[in-house]
Amino acid sequence: MATYIVLLGPPGAGKGTQAQIIAKEFGLMHVSSGDLFRENLKNQTELGKLAKGFMDRGELVPDDVTIAMVKDRISRLDCEKGVLLDGFPRTPAQAEALGEMLKGLGSKVDCVPYISVPAEVLIERLSGRWTCPACGRVYHEKFNPPTQAGVCDADGGALIQRDDDKSETVERRIRVYGEQTAPLIAYYRNLGVLAEVDGTQSIEEVGKLMLAAIRKVA
Ligand code: ADP
Ligand code: ADP
């Protein structure tokens, strides 16, 4: 049966960083809703144009379009063995929709590693984040620098800083997380699938804690 893992945690907690390690380890497809939106933005699709204003302001893109986009992605053949969801669900309505969809497939969310990190640490992480737009790899100028500044270790591409990692938007995103996404911690705890991980540890240490949590269920 396919395995479905949801990575939960505030912006900057380390979801994308850990997703790369975990997806490989368990042979799952890494599906990041933020990356899907950024792809649509780059390709100037209707969805991208709609999402842009919300993303620039650090607000959530409306549930209906977000749910449709993710459903479409995880129904594809390359997701057959299971998916590691990163950045979705982010609202109770999204969580309900995901649950319903997986039920229809005879599956469910198997495990929700929740990476907890206090707000002041998040700001420092997001303001030093550099991303490779080609392969999605994530770096930090201080905590996880590339071998050569500004260049992706994996594919040699030029790294960029995301517009929404600028300070006013970062604070908004952290607030939005607290209001709209944090309720999912209790939601998944009630379903008995939450595994809280201390995200203030080093990238390596957090990775070990996450793998241990997931191995118990997946
Ligand atoms: P998210 O996907 O949750 O928004 P990222 O994985 O993009 O978070 O990480 C945010 C930033 O913090 C990146 O610059 C990343 O290199 C850095 N980072 C991730 N995990 C850690 C960690 N455990 N310690 C220090 N920095 C980290
Ligand atoms: P981070 O992990 O740093 O918060 P993401 O790349 O996950 O950033 O998301 C960037 C932006 O994309 C969000 O601020 C939001 O506007 C939009 N977005 C991503 N995922 C969702 C979602 N599940 N629901 C609504 N909006 C989303």
Question: Ligand 2: does its nearest atom lie under 6 Å from the Cβ of 30?
Answer: no
Question: Ligand 2: does its nearest atom lie under 6 Å from the Cβ of 34?
Answer: yes
Task: Tell me, in angstroms, the distance from the centre of ligand 1 to residue 200's CA.
Answer: 10
**Whole-model pTM?**
0.95
Residue nearest to atom 23 of ligand 1 (CA): 203
Phi, psi (5° rounding) for residue 193? -120, 0
Angle, helix 15-26 to helix 203-215, in steps of 10 degrees: 50
Nearest 5°: the CA angle 101, 179, 169 is 105
Q: Where are the domains of the chain?
A: 3-118+175-215
Where does the pLDDT of residue 218 fall: very low under 50, low under 70, confident under 90, or very high at 90 and above?
A: low
Q: Are 146 and 152 in contact (CB under 8 A)?
A: yes
Task: Tell me, in angstroms, the distance from the centre of ligand 2 to residue 90's CA.
Answer: 8
Question: Ligand 1: does its nearest atom lie under 6 Å from the Cβ of 161?
Answer: no
Model confidence pLDDT, tens digit, residues 19-28: 988 998 889 9
User: Which DSSP category does 178 fall into?
Assistant: I
- The helix, strand and coil proportions of the chain, stated in percent and rounded to the nearest 5, come to 50, 15, 35
Q: Which architecture, in CATH terms, is 3-118+175-215?
A: 3-Layer(aba) Sandwich (3.40)
